[in-house]
Structure 1
Amino acid sequence: MRNAAGFNASQPQFLEAFVRMSADAVARTVGGTIRGARDVVVSGAEVDSRLIQTGNLFIALPGEHVDGHVFVPKTLEKAAAALIRSDVDLPPPPANRALVSVTDPLAAYHCLATEDCHRRSWQVATVTGSVGKTTTKDFLAHILKHHRITGASQGNRNSTLGLPAQILSQDENTEIFVAEAGMSQAGELDLLGSILHPDLLLYTRITPAHTEFFSSMDGVVEAKAELLAHLKSEGTLVINADDPRQAGFSQRTKARVLSYGASEADARLEALEDLGLEGTQGTLALPSGKASFHLPLPGLYQAENFLAAATAGEALGMRVQDIASLAETMIAAPHRGTILHLQDNITIIDDSYNASPDAVKRALELLAKCSGRRVAVLGEMYELGSAAAAAHRDIGRLVADHCDLLLTVGYDMSNKVLEGAVAAGLPRHRAYQAEDSAAAIATLEAVLETGDTILIKGSRGVGLDQVVSALCEGRG
């Protein structure tokens, strides 16, 4: 039986390892037709024309603004081949290049990732949740690379578009692949689960995020739970014991279940000390034993991310002593809680990559413990739907108790933060509003003082990373 992509869905054949697969083998795998050099070898795949590397297979897909087929001729200067829709008329490929035509390039792309993932002898560890996914994924990969040949999805390429390219670009010798799986709508994690079939599935906290696309939090939880059906029965499920939304997950799998967090959990942090911007320290207690650790990343939420990764790491063969010793070497990914020290004793907590209500609350709790004047630069939180106004006002009320000066960035929803803060007692003359990052930079340059500690956090689309860059350039 052939599906919409034109490939055999009942008996897919992965004829060669993808990292050295001929264009002809790609065409036969997905049931496509080929023009050009049949024997040209592809290595890795990419959907973003800007990220094409020499030898890649470019997947031409319709984009938000431009159809990817427009970029095929240019990408073939570096790419070995392109996967295109069969009804698109393109000129013949250059010498030693190929075009593979299918009815549905997206479905064919997912087929390639599925078959590549399944043919390998590696183990797959999948990380999902609402907050801390990328950091926990990075922590786990860092732990495992000292034990086995480890690959991991890069950055936040965790979607049905980005993650398959990460799978197809892994080294052939990879023994374990750590994948971050994200979603905005129902069905997306079901698709990723069918591609990955994880040996280990780790959940960070599930909190209000992407609620614009769901009628209730129950819908968000069910969408996150879609991965459970794809976890191997002989695998391991790692859940957060402090998150009541995960309470029923253990009944939905035949896999071994490990919990982390609370005092009754399988994995815990004992005698935990919060050292402010110096991080946390305490005792890592895992099922196999205990060991002291120091994590140099600030925030109790980072300690929780470390505990989650440590629980998974031990389940995948690491010793508790080795995991604890690696805590000291953990670093934050760019714009995800990085501490920056500038001139005039100014400190930035750069958490500008993204934001959700729970993540902002945790960041404000960290800011409240800092010395000097505490400045919160908060951008809007996107994809909250009908809950957006109330969520932004709630953050404003927290601001009044946790900081000394507020700068909101954005339009309608940022005003809700300001309104909530002033209503909760923050003096109006210490609350500022800027429409965009450029205006925010100008405001900060006018109001910053020696010794300030600045939290910068907002949804990615607000562009607060530009504020961080400008401050570093001007005061670094």
Structure 2
Amino acid sequence: MRKRIQDIAKWLNIDAGNDGEKIVTGVSIDTRTIKEGDLFIPFRGEKTNGHQYVRQAFEKGASCSLWLKDEPNPPKDVPLLFVENSEAALQQMARKYREELKATFIGITGSNGKTSSKDILASLLSPYYKVQKTIGNFNNELGLPLTILSLDEDTEMAVLEMGMSGFGEIEFLSTLAKPHYAIITNIGEAHMQELGSREGIARAKFEIIKGFDSDGVLCYDGDEPLLRALVEKTPQLKSKAFGFGTGNDLMVKAIETTEKGSRFIVEGELNGEFFIPILGKHQVKNSLGAMLVAKSLGLSEEQIRKGLSQVSLTDMRMQLIPLGDVLFINDAYNAAPTSMKAAIDFVQTTSMRKDKWLVLGDMLELGEKEREFHEQLAEYIDENRISRICLFGPRMEWLYHRLAPKFSGRIIHTKEDYGKIIEYIKQHANEDSLILLKGSRGMKLETILRAFQQNK
């Protein structure tokens, strides 16, 4: 982005002051990461007031800053734009910049797999287009506008992750981004306490089509009846379904997993064998939505095949990490029942190593059924295929009591002591051990991994 202060003032319908010709080349809400030429946006919260950092922002190279009209003592010697509400101003700037961009916008949502799908699609398209994607988890009402404002003016493909915790949030993000294509990866159980049911979660995710024009195309998990029902109730919607079941526009017929990744065969809109350097049946499914979008954009099967072979994911998503004799799978970025079962299934079915471990942390934000969801995992864990289990967090105590009779002498639980698990692994893991780390973000199971990385 390269805009004059007076251009941004026009977006916001306010006065540019005396420094209208000065150039803004980015937007920041954090002085720790601010770059020269940025417009700084201060937020006023319960614990801190961003206005106290405005002077520091200019010292680090900011070219301009917003300032709330009711905030006293604005500095007189720096360019300021006075606004009623910082968040609304940020969103309005993103809305106006979006209108100017020529890029194709692709929105991605779902209970699990948003970030992996984003990474897969961006990697797939990168050999053929200038692609930018959501960085980290900047996928909410603040993060998405910041992502849009970070796009280069000549970006050709913008791959945007959209997250939510309640109704109306995805609709807001979709109408802001106005995607040409959208992917719904799946419907799980996360945010159950806010949305009440899986039906509610499906309706909330389906809001992603609200920003479509008449040509918008939705690619969705066709194995999910709740999504199929919503699509059927929207006859004017252009859509493509993907999954493992028959009746999808793109179907997986076979998967072969190695330490290098997943080889799979598809039928439907694309046919033949493809490879992704990623582990897991669920990651193969995440690839399908990306493949459908790529085909809709005009890429050939061979171009899609080449793009997929170069895919890389954000860390902590089915990430293979060999440390000493032990092979870890770091899938500790987040967890919900659906993704937890998928990761467990991969470990139980892989032939990479025989001594298979599960290190599982609490699943958060599951509402009134959280005990039931934790206990249900016992049904998916086979005592004949899993060697040892380490459970971390107060909620995992429910699963511990279900599994302890089957895993006598092969299971431990701790509510908050990483050290207990670290020592257990050191005592019992060997050169044939494959250890999965999987839990919600708040459990920080990568702490266990770091103990072994430091000793490497």
TM-score scaled by structure 2? 0.92
Q: Which residue of 1 aligns with 2:257?
A: 275
Q: For 1:359, what is the secondary structure of its paired residue?
A: helix
* TM alignment of 1:373-388, pairs within 5 A: 373-388=355-370
Q: Which residue of 2 aligns with 1:61?
A: 43
Does the C-alpha gap of structure 1 residues 65 and 374 become closer, same or farther in structure 2, counting only changes over 3 Å? farther
Which whole-Å CA distance do the structure 2 matches of 1:375 and 1:68 have between them?
A: 46
Which whole-Å CA distance do the structure 1 matches of 2:427 and 2:65 have between them?
A: 51
1:306 counterpart = 2:287: yes
Per-residue CA distance 1:350-380 (angstroms, 9 max, x = gap) = 0011111110110011111242322211111
Among 406, 414, 435, the alignment partner of 1:454 is 435
Per-residue CA distance 1:104-162 (angstroms, 9 max, x = gap) = 11111111111111221221111111111111111111122222222211122111111
Which whole-Å CA distance do the structure 2 matches of 1:201 and 1:248 have between them?
A: 17
Which whole-Å CA distance do the structure 2 matches of 1:332 and 1:150 have between them?
A: 15
* TM alignment of 1:48-447, pairs within 5 A: 48-63=30-45, 65-76=47-58, 77-92=60-75, 97-250=78-231, 251-252=233-234, 254-261=236-243, 262-270=245-253, 272-287=254-269, 289-344=270-325, 346-370=326-350, 371-401=353-383, 403-410=386-393, 412-422=394-404, 425-437=406-418, 439-447=420-428
Does the C-alpha gap of structure 1 residues 269 and 217 become closer, same or farther in structure 2, counting only changes over 3 Å? closer
Aligned pairs, number: 450
Does the C-alpha gap of structure 1 residues 84 and 91 become closer, same or farther in structure 2, counting only changes over 3 Å? closer
* TM alignment of 1:3-82, pairs within 5 A: 19-33=1-15, 37-63=19-45, 65-76=47-58, 77-82=60-65
Which whole-Å CA distance do the structure 1 matches of 2:17 and 2:72 have between them?
A: 12
Q: Is residue 393–residue 417 contact of structure 1 (8 Å, CA) maintained in 2?
A: yes
Structure 1 unaligned segments of length 5 or more: list them: 1-18
Q: For 1:184, what is the secondary structure of its paired residue?
A: coil
Which whole-Å CA distance do the structure 1 matches of 2:436 and 2:52 have between them?
A: 41
Per-residue CA distance 1:5-63 (angstroms, 9 max, x = gap) = xxxxxxxxxxxxxx111223222321335567333211122233433222222222245
Per-residue CA distance 1:325-370 (angstroms, 9 max, x = gap) = 32222222200111111212x1000001111111011001111124
Alignment-mate amino acid for residue 145 of structure 2: P
Tell which deviates more after alignment, 213-222 or 127-136: 213-222
Tell which deviates more after alignment, 147-156 or 189-198: 147-156
Which whole-Å CA distance do the structure 2 matches of 1:60 and 1:390 have between them?
A: 43
Q: Is residue 113–residue 168 contact of structure 1 (8 Å, CA) maintained in 2?
A: yes
TM-score scaled by structure 1? 0.89
Which whole-Å CA distance do the structure 2 matches of 1:437 and 1:100 have between them?
A: 48
Structure 2 unaligned segments of length 5 or more: list them: none
Which whole-Å CA distance do the structure 2 matches of 1:254 and 1:46 have between them?
A: 39
Does the C-alpha gap of structure 1 residues 89 and 375 become closer, same or farther in structure 2, counting only changes over 3 Å? same
Cα deviation for residue 438 of structure 1 reads 5.0
Cα deviation for residue 276 of structure 1 reads 4.6
Which whole-Å CA distance do the structure 2 matches of 1:464 and 1:264 have between them?
A: 39
Which whole-Å CA distance do the structure 1 matches of 2:38 and 2:235 have between them?
A: 37
Which whole-Å CA distance do the structure 2 matches of 1:387 and 1:143 have between them?
A: 38
Does the C-alpha gap of structure 1 residues 68 and 286 become closer, same or farther in structure 2, counting only changes over 3 Å? farther
Q: For 2:271, what is the secondary structure of its paired residue?
A: strand
Which whole-Å CA distance do the structure 2 matches of 1:25 and 1:368 have between them?
A: 57
Alignment-mate amino acid for residue 222 of structure 2: A
Which whole-Å CA distance do the structure 1 matches of 2:99 and 2:423 have between them?
A: 52
Q: For 2:285, what is the secondary structure of its paired residue?
A: helix
Tell which deviates more after alignment, 72-81 or 454-463: 72-81
Q: Is residue 113–residue 185 contact of structure 2 (8 Å, CA) maintained in 1?
A: yes
Which whole-Å CA distance do the structure 2 matches of 1:359 and 1:316 have between them?
A: 29
Does the C-alpha gap of structure 1 residues 105 and 328 become closer, same or farther in structure 2, counting only changes over 3 Å? same
Which whole-Å CA distance do the structure 2 matches of 1:258 and 1:240 have between them?
A: 9
Q: What percent of counterpart residues are identical?
A: 26
Which whole-Å CA distance do the structure 1 matches of 2:167 and 2:86 have between them?
A: 22
Alignment-mate amino acid for residue 266 of structure 1: D
Q: For 1:382, what is the secondary structure of its paired residue?
A: coil
TM-align CA RMSD: 2.1
Which whole-Å CA distance do the structure 2 matches of 1:343 and 1:59 have between them?
A: 46
Which whole-Å CA distance do the structure 1 matches of 2:370 and 2:387 have between them?
A: 24
Q: For 2:196, what is the secondary structure of its paired residue?
A: coil
Q: For 2:381, what is the secondary structure of its paired residue?
A: helix
Per-residue CA distance 1:446-473 (angstroms, 9 max, x = gap) = 4433321110011111112222222222
Q: For 1:50, what is the secondary structure of its paired residue?
A: coil
Alignment-mate amino acid for residue 354 of structure 1: N
Cα deviation for residue 297 of structure 1 reads 1.2
Cα deviation for residue 260 of structure 1 reads 1.1
Q: Is residue 264–residue 284 contact of structure 2 (8 Å, CA) maintained in 1?
A: no
Q: Is residue 208–residue 217 contact of structure 1 (8 Å, CA) maintained in 2?
A: yes
Which whole-Å CA distance do the structure 2 matches of 1:23 and 1:292 have between them?
A: 52
Which whole-Å CA distance do the structure 1 matches of 2:48 and 2:68 have between them?
A: 15
